[in-house]
Amino acid sequence: MNFWLIKSEPAVFGFSDLQAVAAEPWNGVRNYQARNFLRQMRRGDLCLFYHSNAKPPGVAGVAKVVREAYPDDLQFDPQSPYVDPASTPQNPRWSAVDVAAVAPLPNFLPLAVLREVAELAAMPLLQKGSRLSVMPISQAQFVVTVRLGGLDDLAQQLEAGCG
DNA sequence: GCCAACGTTGGC
DNA sequence: GCCAACGTTGGC
């Protein structure tokens, strides 16, 4: 299993919005590096759900991948701001996955708190200039984060290897 | 292929 | 609102 961090602006789509639906297409990603990470996602992979452009920004919950990469519909939609005229159904440029909520963090973890955790110092999110909306993280980083966030059971399951 | 200009992200 | 960092575009 792999672990990821995905960003969303809560004013647009926050973790509570994810909890309100069975699954949500993670589309509109228009950065090649982020797209390539989307394509590496596998069913069952777990994601930290990060609120960007928020007050405060931080990790709000845990989500999981429920459908692996498929062509992002929005690239063909002339009405969408995410349309890409250079993309064709025969050769789609952009991908989406579907994600579903697993659990909210009982303790929301603000970015400022994450920065103080030594075990998380290498997380891509915390690197200078990091702007990717989808990034890989290690299992250790995921476990440390969800434990800090109050999901002790999930942390324990993953450490026991039966996650 | 270089690089300046521009747009976007996202914390503060 | 500001601005640093980064990606993309397009002229040459």
The gap from C-alpha A152 to its chain's centroid, in whole angstroms, comes to: 20
Q: What percent of chain A has pLDDT over 90?
A: 88
Whether the CB of A31 is less than 7 Å away from nucleic strand C comes out as: yes
* pLDDT at res. A162: 58
Tens-place pLDDT, residues A129-154: 889 999 999 999 999 999 999 999 99
Mean pLDDT of all residues in A16-42: 96
A56 secondary structure, DSSP code: S
Q: How confident is the model at residue A88 (pLDDT cuts 50, 70, 90)?
A: confident
Mean pLDDT of all residues in A80-102: 92
Mean pLDDT of all residues in A27-31: 95
Closest CA to A7 of A76, A79, A99, A95: A99
Residue A97's domain spans which residues?
3-159
* pLDDT at res. A90: 87
**Strand C nucleotides where any atom sits below 7 Å of a protein CB:** 5-8
Mean pLDDT of all residues in A109-114: 97
| CATH code for the domain in which residue A29 is found | 3.10.590.10
Whether the CB of A42 is less than 7 Å away from nucleic strand C comes out as: no
* Contact of A65 with A44, CB cutoff 8 Å: yes
* pLDDT at res. A121: 96
Range 115-134, chain A: CB under 7 Å to any strand C atom: 128-129, 131
pTM: 0.94
Closest CA to A5 of A39, A43, A34: A34
Count: domains in chain A = 1
